Chain A
């Protein structure tokens, strides 16, 4: 579950793992939505707590002095001392953990030792760029993948199905960073059609439509590499979900009534197939961010991913940890939002 271009938890025809998740969601009338939201919110909070605790444990287990991990190996003794006292490193472990929680919950993620700026201030400006890239890619991949998947679901076993299915497996088996490099090779190096790095042309226009167009041109290649992989995923998921829906009895009813096949696929089948698609979507948000790190690295896209890469190069541990916590929170909230969407789509969930 760690790599964007890896197989997703539902790679194989929505196997048990997703089925079980779907069943959990079919709590039907037995649980009210408000209560469910409350439970899920608690879960998100729990996730963040676990992540923070994991960080704490890892830092303590890591070889080397905790102070210099947090302050940086080359920190001057004075700064090292302030870090030590502010984290309470001479206190018992329990108290350290509490302090650690306390600091993070008040938004104090420490200082980047590279820039000496508060980590939060380093991270926040990077978020819009990542959102732009990830959002665009998700929209493209869900839309295109669902469309193609629904199409081939109608002709199971045909050569078209076999070809597209095999290609979709190949798509999500591509290492996303390598796909990025190859796109750069073809579209930026061999042909100078598109820019290969950054989000804006240095020294270019900063306002109005030309600026938007400039960002869009920079967005093309990273968005293609990130979404290509996910298109592969959604083709498979949509195909399985739609063909599963198409084998249900209500489809036979619709055929007996005489609805045209197009209506049957797009209305009767897809309306039901959206449920598993949304579920998988919620489950994969974490993976999409992984892909974003690698893609941003390749294209020097000035987002969170790129920041993390830079932090790794300079061993800026506080920034890595801060980004990790923020990402976990984001994924948690996004998956909560997906669940709400699911509740809207499925009337069996009582509002």
Chain B
């Protein structure tokens, strides 16, 4: 199964983890084989006392003349017994209590939750100390005492797991199918929730070993067994004369516990893809120095993008999310970019604003803004040591994100964030002026300026989105990119905000790029539409042309497949097949597997974005035939 594969990969893939796993394995084998190894008796005092490490005694002998190496190996046995015993006890107890608490909720959970909280606050080492002090010291009791103090930790983890899993749809589905809560708990919740506990088990083992060592160091260890902690305890008196007596057991502790912790970490990473995903960083392409170029012609084009390619590095694979994309935009124009999720719309937005995530690079393409190159051959153009785009940020080009997704910093007031942006770009203007501007944009977007003092969470969804728009307008940009600005909002608010964006655009003469998955939303706000599929623009035309004479089979299919309020209620056209995923391999036209019109040539030759009629462009070998078909119908 994929999970075990992930674990195996994680263990083998990284040298540190491989070494840790090996150490843990070797120590475990030694620990369990030691009675049969025929080693010297660890208690035998048959050598000279306090001999330094040498050929006969690799780690030297202690003050009684006992072989330290033999004692270290026997000590591993004690360490592992304590580790396994107490962490197993703790985990099992934790799973049972945590599951009950999380699943049944109500007063059971409140009471148990308090118990966990209290244990979290008790300095539990003292509890162990007291137990061992009162009841005498032996290994079994030590294990038990450690488990008593760690089980609430396991239980808390399990409870949190259960809480998040029990509302998972598949548990709900199982209940809806007739399972009792008990059946759902045992067959779906616990098996899926147990992974972090097992991971945590490795860390608990380390914890137990260190606790036992600490106890032994205080003289509360089991007198009848050889423990590393006790060896240090006995050796400290000879620190001056025979330091090796205490060095070796300490090193052993350090190595074994580190290995367990590192292994626990690696397992956790393997089971938690989000952490893994953060790990990769793409190698940045070096910037390019500005070459002398003719003074920019004051033409009508504010933005020109040529053959842009954006590549993500995902676990060693390269994924071209934007794959050779070109378009140009006149001043004051509004362009909608539509396409299904994953077609590369947002990636395009992040390329335009040069805010690529760490695992992405522009691997080719050119971006010109106001007739000046800011990206050439995928590399940022640098002028006088500064990327040229830096000077355009927020003053010429700004972006609006979906505010529901934490696009504003939750710990600063909205006003602070507006003022800060203003002052970054106009440091000489002073705070007062910045504040004035913030008031101005708030009024412009229809929020009472007294809300400037609010934190994002104090604003409703619609207000928060407006605040994001206000932020983007602070420095009077000319080009505004809006990436799904209304997606998570309710229908009525969505409609209003789109209306406001549209009104602002006309009033401030902005150039707008509206990125959305919703054809309808784009149709109402934009003059031109670019339809994207699999990282490419497949059709680019005026809104009317897109809807009335679509010339690409994909555009046509999308329109025919969307239910509306106005079209006659006939059957929807069904697009066969599955959405293309960036990274899929597909020669020729990427829509071919789903296209009702595809021919042999489509699978061989990739169609280019070419004019069909006037200002209408399409990337299809049969565009001129497609455009002739009556709208709303599919081949």
* Contact among B217, B243, B262 with A294 in the assembled complex (CB-CB below 8 Å): B217
B144 to chain A, nearest CB (A): 13
Asked if residues B262 and A166 are in contact (CB atoms below 8 Å), the reply is: yes
Tell me whether A249 and B211 are in contact in the complex, defined as CB-CB below 8 angstroms, given that A9-B120, A15-B196 are known contacts: no
Asked if residues A312 and B114 are in contact (CB atoms below 8 Å), the reply is: no
Q: Which of B108-137 contact A (CB under 8 A)?
A: 114, 117-131, 133-136
Chain B positions within 8 Å of A205 at CB level: none
Asked if residues A328 and B123 are in contact (CB atoms below 8 Å), the reply is: yes
| Chain B residue with Cβ nearest A283 | B120
Q: How distant is the Cα of A97 from the Cα of B416 in the complex, in angstroms?
A: 57
Asked if residues B214 and A294 are in contact (CB atoms below 8 Å), the reply is: yes
Q: How distant is the Cα of A256 from the Cα of B260 in the complex, in angstroms?
A: 42
Asked if A59 CB lies within 8 Å of chain B CBs, one says yes
Pick from A1, A61, A323 the residue with the most CB of B within 10 Å. Answer: A1
Asked if residues B278 and A243 are in contact (CB atoms below 8 Å), the reply is: yes
Pick from A155, A156, A309, A335 the residue with the most CB of B within 10 Å. Answer: A156
Asked if A54 CB lies within 8 Å of chain B CBs, one says yes
Asked if A293 CB lies within 8 Å of chain B CBs, one says yes
| Chain B residue with Cβ nearest A315 | B133
Asked if B324 CB lies within 8 Å of chain A CBs, one says no
* Contact among A28, A46, A289 with B123 in the assembled complex (CB-CB below 8 Å): A289
Q: How distant is the Cα of A13 from the Cα of B146 in the complex, in angstroms?
A: 23
Asked if residues A1 and B150 are in contact (CB atoms below 8 Å), the reply is: yes
Total CB contacts across the A-B interface at under 8 A: 284
B429 to chain A, nearest CB (A): 16
A28 to chain B, nearest CB (A): 7
Asked if residues A58 and B120 are in contact (CB atoms below 8 Å), the reply is: no
Asked if B408 CB lies within 8 Å of chain A CBs, one says yes
Asked if A290 CB lies within 8 Å of chain B CBs, one says yes
| Chain A residue with Cβ nearest B152 | A1
Q: Which of B233-265 contact A (CB under 8 A)?
A: 236, 239-240, 243, 246-247, 249-250, 253-254, 257-258, 260-262, 264-265
Asked if residues B264 and A12 are in contact (CB atoms below 8 Å), the reply is: yes
Q: Which of A27-68 contact B (CB under 8 A)?
A: 28, 43-44, 46-47, 50-51, 54-55, 58-59, 61-63
Asked if B159 CB lies within 8 Å of chain A CBs, one says yes
Q: How distant is the Cα of A59 from the Cα of B204 in the complex, in angstroms?
A: 28
Asked if residues B207 and A2 are in contact (CB atoms below 8 Å), the reply is: yes
Q: How distant is the Cα of A123 from the Cα of B160 in the complex, in angstroms?
A: 39
Asked if B220 CB lies within 8 Å of chain A CBs, one says yes
Count class of interface residues, chain A: 35 or more
Of the listed stretches A106-114, A140-148, A342-350, name the one at the interface; the rest are far from the partner chain.
Answer: A342-350
Asked if A241 CB lies within 8 Å of chain B CBs, one says no
Asked if residues A286 and B124 are in contact (CB atoms below 8 Å), the reply is: yes
Tell me whether A268 and B278 are in contact in the complex, defined as CB-CB below 8 angstroms, given that A20-B159, A170-B258 are known contacts: no
Q: How distant is the Cα of A54 from the Cα of B115 in the complex, in angstroms?
A: 13
Asked if residues B279 and A3 are in contact (CB atoms below 8 Å), the reply is: no
Chain A positions within 8 Å of B163 at CB level: 20
Tell me whether A258 and B424 are in contact in the complex, defined as CB-CB below 8 angstroms, given that A13-B268, A178-B250 are known contacts: yes
Asked if B153 CB lies within 8 Å of chain A CBs, one says yes
Asked if B16 CB lies within 8 Å of chain A CBs, one says yes
Q: How distant is the Cα of A105 from the Cα of B314 in the complex, in angstroms?
A: 61
| Chain A residue with Cβ nearest B246 | A181
| Chain B residue with Cβ nearest A271 | B411
Secondary structure dominating the interface of B: helix
Asked if B406 CB lies within 8 Å of chain A CBs, one says yes
Asked if residues A250 and B123 are in contact (CB atoms below 8 Å), the reply is: no
Asked if A169 CB lies within 8 Å of chain B CBs, one says yes
Asked if residues A51 and B211 are in contact (CB atoms below 8 Å), the reply is: no
Asked if residues A1 and B149 are in contact (CB atoms below 8 Å), the reply is: yes
Asked if residues B214 and A175 are in contact (CB atoms below 8 Å), the reply is: yes
Q: Which of B500-552 contact A (CB under 8 A)?
A: none
Q: How distant is the Cα of A31 from the Cα of B133 in the complex, in angstroms?
A: 43
Asked if B99 CB lies within 8 Å of chain A CBs, one says no
Asked if A69 CB lies within 8 Å of chain B CBs, one says yes
Asked if B605 CB lies within 8 Å of chain A CBs, one says no
Asked if residues B206 and A308 are in contact (CB atoms below 8 Å), the reply is: no
| Chain B residue with Cβ nearest A253 | B407
* Contact among B120, B250, B408, B425 with A253 in the assembled complex (CB-CB below 8 Å): B408
* Contact among B164, B220, B247, B253 with A175 in the assembled complex (CB-CB below 8 Å): B253
Q: How distant is the Cα of A55 from the Cα of B119 in the complex, in angstroms?
A: 14
Chain B positions within 8 Å of A212 at CB level: none
Asked if residues A2 and B118 are in contact (CB atoms below 8 Å), the reply is: no
Asked if residues B134 and A7 are in contact (CB atoms below 8 Å), the reply is: no
Chain B positions within 8 Å of A289 at CB level: 123, 125-126
Q: Which of B69-103 contact A (CB under 8 A)?
A: none
Q: How distant is the Cα of A312 from the Cα of B215 in the complex, in angstroms?
A: 11
Asked if residues B254 and A6 are in contact (CB atoms below 8 Å), the reply is: no
Asked if A86 CB lies within 8 Å of chain B CBs, one says no
Asked if B394 CB lies within 8 Å of chain A CBs, one says yes
A65 to chain B, nearest CB (A): 12
* Contact among A247, A254, A286 with B278 in the assembled complex (CB-CB below 8 Å): A247
Asked if residues B411 and A347 are in contact (CB atoms below 8 Å), the reply is: yes
Q: How distant is the Cα of A271 from the Cα of B135 in the complex, in angstroms?
A: 48
B402 to chain A, nearest CB (A): 8
Asked if A129 CB lies within 8 Å of chain B CBs, one says no
Known: A2-B149, A7-B264, A11-B203; 20 extra A-B contacts, CB below 8 A, are: A1-B150, A11-B264, A16-B156, A20-B156, A28-B457, A43-B121, A62-B134, A156-B279, A169-B261, A172-B261, A173-B261, A175-B210, A178-B254, A185-B239, A253-B407, A257-B471, A271-B411, A290-B123, A324-B123, A328-B122
8 sampled A-B residue pairs with Cβ under 8 A:
A58-B131, A69-B134, A175-B232, A243-B278, A252-B401, A256-B399, A286-B123, A293-B218
